[in-house]
A and B are shown apart, each in its own frame.
Chain A
Amino acid sequence: MRDNPQAGDLLKIAEATFIQEILPFLPADKKYTALMIANAMRISARQFEGNKNNVAAEIDAVAKLLGQTNISDNPDTLIILNKQFAAAIRSGAFASGSAGHVKTRQHLLTCVQNRLAEVNPKAIVGDSDDR
């Protein structure tokens, strides 16, 4: 068991301190690099605190779309399934008008939004299928 504060919390306070106490004193030609460092820290913090259930849910959803029931408990299961899923999409298995088209698109949308929640939450503010 680790002592608190842990990675996510440490990254958040480190990023805030960096922005408030270091960034204002950097020369103009280093600001862009400094902002990239802060952004990397924010992404890292959000990934540490991200929803751990997303991977399990994604495995379950892809398996259903592929019609698979016996899913191995392998660390690379999601990659293996997504390779099959990508190949199926390329072959036209989920083309417009097919039975799985709407569900597949919705699944892809969910996955993209989950990733954006970690790397760029602003991109999903107000995002909807109705736009």
Chain B
Amino acid sequence: MDIRPGIKEYLLHSDEVDTVEITDLQLLSGGAIQQNWLLDATVNGTALETVLRTDSTSSLEDSLSRAQEYTIFTIAFEAGVTVPEPLWLSVDPRWIGKPFFIMRRVAGTAAGHKIVRNDAMGGGRKVLANRLGQELAHIHSIKRSQAGLNFLALPTPTPALHRVAEYRAALDASDMPQPTLEWGLYWLEQNAPDAVNELVLCHNDFRTGNYMVTEQSLTGILDWEFAAWGDPLVDIGWFCAKCWRFGAVGNEAGGISDRADFYNGYEQVTGVRIDRNAVLYWEVMATMRWAIIAMKQGDRHISGREPSLELALTRHIVPELELDILHMTQEVGNA
């Protein structure tokens, strides 16, 4: 389906647009859950470089709608988080057949394997890790009192036990038993921390690969579709987990730098010291979460619903994550 005429009609339909010429439209690679289109247009005589984000052929049931994601982009942008500026949202299917939003395109790359191998990215590894810590702290400054975010899920009875129940339900829905993942989930249940005093806005996919960066600086935090209220350590554990270091295992902060650089950035903004030991629990949880997602992605291929070599191979990531879980739960021991 050519979505170009629909986009043009939509823009002309909006009050502030009189003339539109679409100069480039290309589907960007990646995005198993969402589609991202490079969209260049001349609007009212001004050249605009944007990205159009819409639903992919399949979606994960716990991901936000495009309208909800657009709301979070807007609130995060206003809270000072470095996100691409949200420009337009359409929930009306008449334009391109599904909801979409358009945001200003930011420069740089999000390719994790390139970022972790380049010492200069973001102004240098330490600068980038510190900046990412600050960005996450700004995200976590958004609390439940924030208007407009009532649609976000609340974890019950606690952030940790909510996830344990969710992942067990995913295992129960799968045909094949997973004793090692059960082993990890039992450990996560037995060692679950208490509920936090105050839930914060968690990005829930804050990791290398989901931010844009040039050699000069960070340019945008992306992929907010899993945002929800939660324990701030969820995001810190996800960012630091070994499975998101893109092979640069020694750089424990997202494969780019030392944890201290990332933690310092976070603490500079919040004024609250991160509990180093408590983060380890959430790294086990992060590894478990990625294993469950990989299993579900594989099931999409195996079931025949969505034949895909990428999904099929993602299923085979699970044993490596299981190995990490067996080692981490042994190293941390029982709390």
Contact = CB atoms under 8 A, between A and B. Distances in A.
Interface residues of B, number: 26
Given A36-B309, A36-B313, A82-B177, A89 B322 contact: no
Given A108-B180, A112-B323, A92 B29 contact: no
A110 to B, nearest CB: 10
B319 to A, nearest CB: 4
A18 interface: no
A105 B330 contact: yes
Contacts of B330: 105, 129
B190 interface: yes
A115 to B, nearest CB: 4
* Interface of A: prevailing SS: helix
Nearest to A123: B320
Given A40-B309, A43-B316, A112-B180, A86 B326 contact: no
A7 interface: no
B179 interface: yes
**Residue with the highest number of chain B CB atoms closer than 10 Å, among A85, A90, A94:** A90
B313 A96 contact: no
Given A37-B309, A86-B171, A95 B183 contact: no
Interface residues of A, number: 36
A37 B309 CA distance: 8
B185 interface: yes
B316 A119 contact: yes
A108 B168 CA distance: 18
B182 A112 contact: no
19 contacts: A33-B309, A39-B313, A43-B313, A62-B179, A82-B177, A83-B177, A86-B178, A89-B179, A89-B182, A92-B186, A105-B330, A108-B322, A112-B322, A112-B323, A116-B319, A119-B316, A120-B316, A123-B319, A129-B330
